[in-house]
Amino acid sequence: MPRPLRVAIVGAGPAGIYAADALLKSEAAADPGVSIDLFERMPAPFGLIRYGVAPDHPRIKGIVTALHQVLDKPQIRLFGNVDYPNDVSLDDLHEFYDAVVFSTGADADRALDIPGIDLEGSFGAADFVSWYDGHPDVPRTWPLHARKVAVLGVGNVALDVARILAKTADELLSTEIPPNVYEGLAANQAVEVHVFGRRGPAQAKFSPMELRELDHSPTIEVIVDPEDIDYDEGSTATRRANKQAHMVASTLENWAIRDPGDRPHKLFLHFFESPTEILGEDGRVTGLRTERTRLDGTGNVAGTGEMRTWDVQSVYRAVGYLSCELAKLPFDFLTGTVPHEAGRVIEGGEHLRSTYVTGWIKRGPVGLIGHTKGDANETVACLLDDHRNDRLRTPAAPGEDAIVAHLDGKGVRYTTWDGWHRLDESERALGAAEGRERVKIVDREAMLEAGTPPSDPADPSAGRS
């Protein structure tokens, strides 16, 4: 009797859930159908949305509603708090599934090779984001002693970091931030935040809406130097071809010509400043040195030799995320991605049979969350093509109970979709007590306890209809 196509997806963030959705919407979902197990190393699903989106962006977090509808499907099971490769290896997954899709994302900071980068007070943006988003595997405190702070980078992550550093804790109290984050931000000493980009306004990678949101805070004065508003032929062409680039540049122009106000926290957006060194004394950050750049006619820049020194006591680099190498898979350390062709993992010039990638581990950490849908559709199309043409491995133990027995045998305390509902209810109850929608639970053990009451042993089929 034919059995469903069994697919394992490693990573239950947007990329993994979009891949599951694409499978469920495919013709393969018809009889005998597909059976999908999502594996997530965190006790809770949703990846980047839960642990990478700033808490004052509920608009983006609203994407969870759509992802929720996918995970509610009876063909999908969630196994949270399961670590690849320690709890389940690639060989294990090939034993239990016809195909394996990796959607592990990118949550490390890309390196910036300048002197002083390792000084105390020099931080990666990804680490700071993990702290204020309540990631269970990072320290509960964050050193926020600097009165003047530099943020390197002109993307949305840089804006998030700068905005969180410049806002007051009370402004964020209506969000889901946990108590330790509120207490940390309440002690924040920053009164000036300086954001640096090596190129000009037309090359900034901000989203127009995210940029404009900087100016919505009653405590943040956004300041742009009129000298930084400059365009060459390449910049003008970019503005003409890219509506978002034009909107960003127009917003920056308007800010550059207005008179500064009297809001207590100043947020400076600097362009044409290339960081060359983080300065320090006694092992701590005491300043930042940049080289002034100029446009070369193509939209790129060249150094002018003019150096500037900035009085800052902390530096956050927001120059890009980086994916981590995955055991038993090839890895390109330059791009931080798994080599692939349209989502098929490639090793030694050949497709690593039944093995696929999607999302940032596939294409790098670029684009918005919604862009991962296209990735998922492409990868799933290749997987289904291999299925139709009998190019997938035949798993030795494809029954749905096999993975459960494996995890139980290793003593893995895994969470389930039903467990997420319980954790969600617990966080919402904490929020309701304070007049908020939710208060995030940070501690991993507390998350496990909230999601899996002792009287209800973990059951991966719980909540399925």
Per-residue pLDDT of the chain (465 residues; tens, 9 = 90+): 689 999 999 999 999 999 999 999 998 888 889 999 999 999 999 999 999 999 998 777 778 999 999 999 999 999 999 999 999 999 999 999 999 999 999 989 999 999 999 999 999 999 999 999 999 999 999 999 999 999 999 999 999 999 999 999 999 999 999 999 999 999 999 999 999 999 999 999 999 999 999 999 999 999 999 999 999 999 999 999 999 999 999 999 999 999 989 999 999 999 999 999 999 999 999 999 999 999 999 999 999 999 999 999 999 999 999 999 999 999 999 999 999 999 999 999 999 999 999 999 999 988 777 778 999 999 999 999 999 999 999 999 999 999 999 999 999 999 999 999 999 999 999 999 999 999 999 999 999 999 976 554 455 444 332
Q: How many CB atoms lie within 10 A of CB 266?
A: 18
Q: What pLDDT score was predicted for residue 377?
A: 96
Q: What pLDDT score was predicted for residue 31?
A: 81
Set out the domains of the chain in order of their start, with CATH numbers.
Answer: 5-106+323-414 (3.40.50.720), 108-321 (3.50.50.60)
Q: What pLDDT score was predicted for residue 1?
A: 63
Q: What pLDDT score was predicted for residue 171?
A: 96
Instruction: Find the Cα–Cα–Cα–Cα dihedral 365, 370, 372, 378, rounded to 10°.
Output: -150
Q: Is the overall model pTM greater than 0.85, yes or no?
A: yes
Q: How many CB atoms lie within 10 A of CB 402?
A: 17
What's the length of the chain? 465
Closest CA to 108 of 266, 260, 318, 272: 318
Report the 3 state secondary structure along the chain.
Answer: CCCCEEEEEECCCHHHHHHHHHHHHCHHHCCCCEEEEEEECCCCCCHHHHHCCCCCCHHHHCHHHHHHHHHCCCCEEEEECCCCCCCCCHHHHHHHCCEEEECCCCCEECCCCCCCCCCECEEEHHHHHHHHCCCCCCCCCCCCCCCEEEEECCCHHHHHHHHHHHCCCHHHCCCCCCHHHHHHHHCCCCCEEEEECCCCHHHCCCCHHHHHHHHHCCCEEEEECHHHCCCCHHHHHHHHHCHHHHHHHHHHHHHHHCCCCCCCEEEEEECCEEEEEEEEECCEEEEEEEEEEEECCCCCEEEEEEEEEECCCEEEECCCEECCCCCCCCCECCCCECCEECCEEEECCEEEEEEEECCHHHHCCCCCHHHHHHHHHHHHHHHHHHHHCCCCCCCCCCCHHHHHHHHHHCCCCCECHHHHHHHHHHHHHHHHCCCCCCCCCCCHHHHHHHHCCCCCCCCCCCCCC
